[in-house]
Structure 1
Amino acid sequence: MAGTTIRVPIAETTFSNRVFIHDYPRSSKIEAHFQSNERLYISYYNIISLGTYPSTPKLTQKSKNNASQYPIPDDYIVETKFSERKWSVSSTQSSTAVVNTFLQKINLKSSTKSSGPRLFGFDIEPLYHARLQIGFRPVTAVTTEVNN
């Protein structure tokens, strides 16, 4: 990957409208807070595998014209706490396809809407920056650190 430029377009405005409580990379646990209509929503993430961005990453779909798009990393594995039950869904398609499969599996109404980028943590800014740092280091540096 040495000499490879990773192009990851991100809106010039705020990366995410959520607040993240974390000690990443020392801890794989991340808590996200989002307030809407005077209600606080809290999501919990456990980052199992950070993943990396391919040289030309796919982006999340826009839900609205002014919505941010986030790059989708390869080999990213995350546990997300959503209610008290445990569910497992995987997909090689878009984050939206995974969300739709997830909502079907837990039998929520077809009118239920959820954000793929939020559910899977694509908008977690510390992870975004960590992946960029990995992408900008030569492969030998990454290999050396893993072997030590």
Structure 2
Amino acid sequence: MLDFLALAYPWTKFLHIISVISWMAGIFYLPRLFVYHTEQDLDETTDQLFQTMERRLLRGIMNPAMIATWVFGLALVFTPGIVYWGDVWPWLKAISVLAMTWFHHWLGLRRKDFVRGDNTRSGRTYRMMNEVPTLLMIVIVASVVVKF
């Protein structure tokens, strides 16, 4: 199995990068949709349109991309010679990816608030929370590239 992972390494890395890009696109866009959804005076039709866009983004793009990111990321972790756990960078990346996953699930819970009509957060809150994945992305990319 490990030999297969070593042979598949370039493809695994390629698929991991594509998955991360897809996940990050959604994770940046969904809070922005929440801002618009919160700050508009919505009739029933427009509210349903926002809910449809949010649901499709989360379920159709973000969830599969997050799962693929984790699958290919773990395949990279188990590829011989790629990660040395005695360094700081893999731990920092792992913590940041767990935080990104938490944020993803937090967004999913907020979407359910909109579905129930129970959203209590302001557009400002969603704007501020939209900075979280940016900071995590910086830590993750720096960890992998600089390997401190």
Q: Would the TM-score normalized by the shorter structure come out above 0.5?
A: no
TM-score, with length taken from structure 2: 0.27
Greater Cα radius of gyration, structure 1 or 2? 2
Which structure would you say has the larger RCO, counting Cα contacts within 8 Å and 6 or more residues apart?
A: 2
Bigger helix share: 2
Bigger strand share: 1
TM-score, with length taken from structure 1: 0.27
